[in-house]
C-alpha cells in the first residue's frame, strides 16, 4: 500500500477530473438524448446507513431492497455531513467549498462570510446536471426538498417542471415551519408560490407530482431526468397512523437490542468486516433498561414514527416503479437512490440546545403519546435512535465520522450494469453527476456555460469501475476530502484521516483503516507513519485547491446560528 502511494502524485485538479469525464462521455450534447435511458435520482433526507432492509434494518423496505438486488449496493459511499452541501455537490459534481456551500448558509462563521464558495446558496459558478441534461434533449423534473437558496430555484437551474419545499424542514402534513423565526415554510410550483392540498403528505405528494410530470411529458418521446428529493425521514417526524401502528411493538425491545441486531446484520450481509467492533454508547444515552415503562413506551413510539416514514418512502418508490412498468419505461430507467447524510441526533423538543425552539415547540404542539407522529405534533427521535441508525459507525449528522458521512447508495440498471453486487470501493457524492453524464453520453461544458465561467467537476464517473474497465473508482494515491463545521477528513482507498473539534474530539489527526474499523476506534497514525503523512499531504492539497476556510478552534455551531444570506442584486 505504501509503495502505491509513493508512485502517484498528490496533485489532482478539477481540470483533470473534467478531462477524464469528457473522455469517458465522448458524444456531443446534441446527440446525448437520443436512445438514452431515463434517469431517476431519488434522495432521502437524513436516512441512516442501516435504515434499509438491504443494509440490515428491521424496517420494511422491499421496493428499495429489490432495486439493490437488481443493481449495485455501495458500502463506502460518502456525502457531506449535512444536507445543503451534499445536495449542492450531488447536482453539480463540484466540491461544496466552491459551489456556494462551504458551510451551511445558516451557520457561517465570521471568517467565511462574503468569501467565494461560502455564499450560502447554490452559486452561479456551477452548472447543474439538470442544465446539462436539458441541453442534451432530456425532459427535467424535480419534486421535493430544494434547500439550495431562494435566489436560484430549480426553474432557474435546468428543471422544466418542479414542485419544491424551499427551506430545509417543515411539517410533512402542511406548511408549518421548524422554528419560531420560521413558523411557516414556502412551497413553489416552478417559479410561483404554491398552496398545499388538504390531503397533503410530503412523500405521497412529491411522488404523485413526479409521476404526473413524467406522464405529461410522454408525448415528446424524449428521455426524462427526475430528481425526487424526499423530505422524509427528516424531522419533524410525521407519518400515516396505520404505518406508525405497524412498528410500535417492534421497538419496545429498545435501542440497545435494535442497535446490536443491526450491527450483526451488517456483518451477516457482508457490508462490514466480521471482526468490526461497535462503538460504545454515546454520552448521554442511557441503557434502555434504566428507563421506566412509560418512558420506554414513549421512546419506542418515536422510533416507530421514524420507521413509518422510511416505510412510506419505500411504498412511494414502489408506486413510481409500478407506474414506469405500466408505461414500459422501467427497463429503460436508471435508478440512483441515496441519502444526503447520516442520522439527525438533535432533539430540540427536549434538549435546550436552542431554547427558543424548545419553548416554541412546547407552546405550539401536542406531543403527548397518543398524538406522536400526527399532524399537530413536532418530535425528533434524538441521539439514542440516531446511534441505532449509525450502528456500524461513530457519531451522526454534522460530524465527519463515518456516522455522519457514510450513506447508502444503490444504482440499479440491469440493462447495462451488474446485478446483486456489493461495492466496497470509496466513492463520493461528487461522483454522481459525472456518472449520470456518462450513462447518457453527455459531457460537462468545461469552464464556460451560457456566457459565465463555471467550475469543472471534482468527481469521477463510477461506470468504468462497474463495467470492469478500471480496477478502482479512485486510483491509489487519490481520494477526496471532507470538511464541515471545522471537522476535517480525507479518504483514499481504505484509509481515512480524521480531525474533530470539541465536543467530538481534541482536534488532532488520526488515521483509520475503514476495512477493519468502520467505527474509527483504532488510531493507526503511529503504526503507519508514512501513510499518515501522505494522507495529511493529500488533505492539504484538497484544502488549497478548494479554497477551504477553517473555522477557529472553539467555534460552536449553534452559537453561530443565524439567517441564511441572500444574494446581492
Collapsing DSSP states into helix, strand and coil, what is residue 209?
helix
| Rg of the chain (C-alpha set) | 22
Tell me how far apart the alpha carbons of residues 231 and 218 are, in angstroms, rounded to a whole number: 27
pLDDT of residue 34: 61
Tell me how far apart the alpha carbons of residues 389 and 342 are, in angstroms, rounded to a whole number: 8
Q: Which residue has the cell 450491527?
A: 263
Collapsing DSSP states into helix, strand and coil, what is residue 343?
coil
- Across residues 191-202, what is the average pLDDT? 95
Collapsing DSSP states into helix, strand and coil, what is residue 335?
strand
- CA 478, 408, 84, 429 torsion-angle sign: positive
H or E element at residue 130: helix 129-134
pLDDT of residue 110: 87
Cell numbers describing residue 561? 446560528
pLDDT of residue 354: 86
- CA 423, 546, 135, 147 torsion-angle sign: positive
Tell me the domain boundaries of the chain: 2-46+62-231+309-341+396-560
Residues in the chain: 569
Q: What phi-psi label fits residue 195: left (phi over 0), alpha (psi between -120 and 50 degrees) or beta? A: beta
Known catalytic residue: 21?
no
Tell me how far apart the alpha carbons of residues 523 and 370 are, in angstroms, rounded to a whole number: 46
- Centre a 10 Å sphere on the Cβ of residue 527 and count the other Cβ atoms it contains: 11
pLDDT of residue 3: 33
Tell me how far apart the alpha carbons of residues 100 and 95 are, in angstroms, rounded to a whole number: 9
Query: CA-based angle 200:217:161, to the nearest 5?
Result: 50
Note if the bond before 236 is cis, omega within 30 degrees: yes
pLDDT of residue 207: 98
Collapsing DSSP states into helix, strand and coil, what is residue 135?
coil
Given a cut of 70, is residue 14 above it in pLDDT? no
- The rounded percent of the chain whose pLDDT value lies above 90 is 83
Tens-place pLDDT, residues 258-289:
999 999 999 999 999 999 999 999 888 999 99
* pLDDT tier at 1, thresholds 50, 70, 90: very low
* pLDDT tier at 108, thresholds 50, 70, 90: confident
* pLDDT tier at 554, thresholds 50, 70, 90: confident
User: Is domain 2-46+62-231+309-341+396-560 in CATH 3.30.1330.30, yes or no?
Assistant: no
* pLDDT tier at 109, thresholds 50, 70, 90: confident
Tell me how far apart the alpha carbons of residues 386 and 346 are, in angstroms, rounded to a whole number: 9
Catalytic hit among 21, 78, 83, 487: 83
Tens-place pLDDT, residues 214-252:
999 999 989 999 999 999 999 999 999 999 999 999 999
Known catalytic residue: 147?
yes
Tell me how far apart the alpha carbons of residues 31 and 137 are, in angstroms, rounded to a whole number: 8
* pLDDT tier at 306, thresholds 50, 70, 90: very high
pLDDT of residue 91: 98
pLDDT of residue 562: 61
Show Cβ contacts of residue 101 under 8 Å, excluding neighbours closer than 6 positions. 80, 84, 85, 88, 89, 120, 122, 148
- CA 537, 540, 542, 545 torsion-angle sign: negative
Q: Which residue has the cell 437520443?
A: 34
H or E element at residue 226: strand 224-229
Given a cut of 50, is residue 551 above it in pLDDT? yes
Tell me how far apart the alpha carbons of residues 90 and 77 are, in angstroms, rounded to a whole number: 12
pLDDT of residue 566: 58
pLDDT of residue 12: 37
The DSSP bridge pattern shows strands 38-44 and 333-339 to be parallel
Q: Are 267 and 510 in contact (CB under 8 A)?
A: no
- The rounded percent of the chain whose pLDDT value lies above 70 is 92
Beta strands in 259-352 (DSSP E): 333-339
Q: Are 411 and 37 in contact (CB under 8 A)?
A: no
* pLDDT tier at 30, thresholds 50, 70, 90: very low
Tens-place pLDDT, residues 367-414:
999 999 999 999 999 999 999 999 999 999 999 999 999 999 999 999
- Across residues 306-311, what is the average pLDDT? 98
Cell numbers describing residue 307? 420507521
> What integer best gives the mean pLDDT of the chain?
91
The DSSP bridge pattern shows strands 176-179 and 72-78 to be unpaired
Q: What is the pTM of this model?
A: 0.92
- Across residues 99-118, what is the average pLDDT? 89
Tens-place pLDDT, residues 131-162:
999 999 999 999 999 999 988 899 999 999 99
Tens-place pLDDT, residues 47-100:
999 999 999 999 999 999 999 999 999 999 999 999 999 999 999 999 999 999
Q: Where do the H-state alpha helices sit in 174-290?
A: 202-216, 241-247, 255-268
Catalytic hit among 78, 97, 147, 393: 147
- Across residues 19-45, what is the average pLDDT? 65
Amino acid at each position: 500500500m505504501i509503495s502505491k502511494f509513493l508512485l502517484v502524485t498528490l496533485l489532482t485538479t478539477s481540470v483533470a477530473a473534467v478531462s477524464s469525464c469528457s473522455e469517458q462521455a465522448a458524444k456531443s450534447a446534441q446527440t446525448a438524448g437520443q436512445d438514452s435511458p431515463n434517469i431517476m435520482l431519488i434522495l432521502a433526507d437524513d436516512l441512516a446507513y442501516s435504515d434499509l432492509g438491504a443494509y440490515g434494518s428491521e424496517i420494511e423496505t422491499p421496493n428499495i431492497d429489490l432495486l439493490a438486488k437488481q443493481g449495485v449496493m455501495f458500502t463506502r459511499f460518502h456525502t457531506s455531513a449535512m444536507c445543503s452541501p451534499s445536495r449542492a455537490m450531488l447536482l453539480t459534481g463540484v466540491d461544496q467549498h466552491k459551489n456556494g456551500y462551504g458551510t451551511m448558509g445558516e451557520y457561517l462563521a465570521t471568517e467565511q462570510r462574503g468569501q467565494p464558495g461560502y455564499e450560502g446558496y447554490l452559486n452561479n459558478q456551477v452548472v447543474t446536471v439538470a442544465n446539462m441534461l436539458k441541453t442534451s434533449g432530456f425532459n427535467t423534473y424535480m419534486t421535493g426538498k430544494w434547500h439550495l437558496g431562494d435566489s436560484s430555484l430549480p426553474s432557474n437551474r435546468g428543471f422544466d417542471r418542479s414542485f419544491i419545499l424551499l427551506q430545509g424542514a417543515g411539517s410533512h402534513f402542511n406548511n408549518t415551519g421548524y422554528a419560531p423565526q420560521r413558523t411557516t415554510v414556502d412551497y413553489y410550483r416552478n417559479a410561483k408560490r404554491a398552496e398545499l392540498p388538504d390531503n397533503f403528505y410530503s412523500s405521497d405528494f412529491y411522488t404523485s407530482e413526479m409521476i404526473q410530470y413524467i406522464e405529461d411529458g410522454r408525448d415528446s418521446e424524449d428521455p426524462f431526468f427526475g430528481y425526487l428529493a424526499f423530505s422524509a425521514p427528516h424531522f419533524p417526524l410525521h407519518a400515516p397512523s396505520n404505518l406508525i401502528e405497524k412498528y410500535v411493538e417492534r421497538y419496545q425491545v429498545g435501542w440497545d437490542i435494535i442497535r446490536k441486531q443491526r450491527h450483526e446484520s451488517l456483518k451477516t450481509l457482508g457490508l462490514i468486516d466480521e471482526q468490526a467492533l461497535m462503538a460504545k454508547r454515546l454520552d448521554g444515552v442511557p441503557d434502555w433498561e434504566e428507563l421506566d415503562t412509560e418512558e420506554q413506551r414513549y421512546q419506542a413510539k418515536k422510533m416507530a414514527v421514524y420507521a413509518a416514514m422510511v416505510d412510506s418512502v419505500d411504498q412511494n418508490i414502489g408506486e413510481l416503479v409500478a407506474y414506469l412498468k405500466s408505461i414500459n419505461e422501467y427497463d429503460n430507467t436508471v435508478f440512483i437512490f441515496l441519502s444526503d447524510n447520516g442520522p439527525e441526533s438533535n432533539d430540540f423538543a427536549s434538549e435546550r440546545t436552542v431554547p427558543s425552539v424548545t419553548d416554541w415547540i412546547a407552546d405550539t404542539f401536542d406531543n403527548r403519546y397518543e398524538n406522536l407522529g400526527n399532524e399537530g405534533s413536532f418530535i425528533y427521535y434524538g441521539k439514542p435512535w440516531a446511534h441505532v441508525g449509525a450502528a456500524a459507525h461513530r457519531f451522526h449528522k454534522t460530524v465527519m465520522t463515518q456516522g455522519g458521512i457514510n450513506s447508502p447508495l444503490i444504482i440499479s440498471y440491469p440493462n447495462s450494469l451488474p446485478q446483486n453486487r456489493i461495492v466496497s470501493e470509496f466513492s463520493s457524492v461528487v461522483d454522481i453527476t459525472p456518472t449520470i453524464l456518462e450513462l447518457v453520453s453527455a459531457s460537462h461544458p468545461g469552464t464556460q456555460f451560457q456566457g459565465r465561467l463555471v467550475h469543472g467537476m471534482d468527481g469521477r464517473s463510477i461506470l468504468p469501475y462497474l463495467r470492469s474497465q478500471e480496477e478502482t473508482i479512485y486510483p491509489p494515491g487519490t481520494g477526496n476530502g471532507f470538511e464541515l463545521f471545522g471537522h476535517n477528513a480525507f479518504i483514499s482507498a481504505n484509509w481515512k484521516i480524521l480531525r474533530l473539534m470539541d465536543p467530538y474530539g481534541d482536534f488532532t489527526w488520526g488515521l483509520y483503516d475503514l476495512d477493519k474499523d468502520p467505527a474509527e476506534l483504532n488510531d493507526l497514525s503511529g503504526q503507519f507513519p508514512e501513510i499518515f503523512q501522505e494522507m495529511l499531504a493529500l488533505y492539504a492539497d484538497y484544502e488549497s485547491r478548494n479554497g477551504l476556510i477553517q473555522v477557529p478552534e472553539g467555534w460552536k455551531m449553534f452559537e453561530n446560528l443565524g439567517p441564511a444570506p441572500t444574494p446581492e442584486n
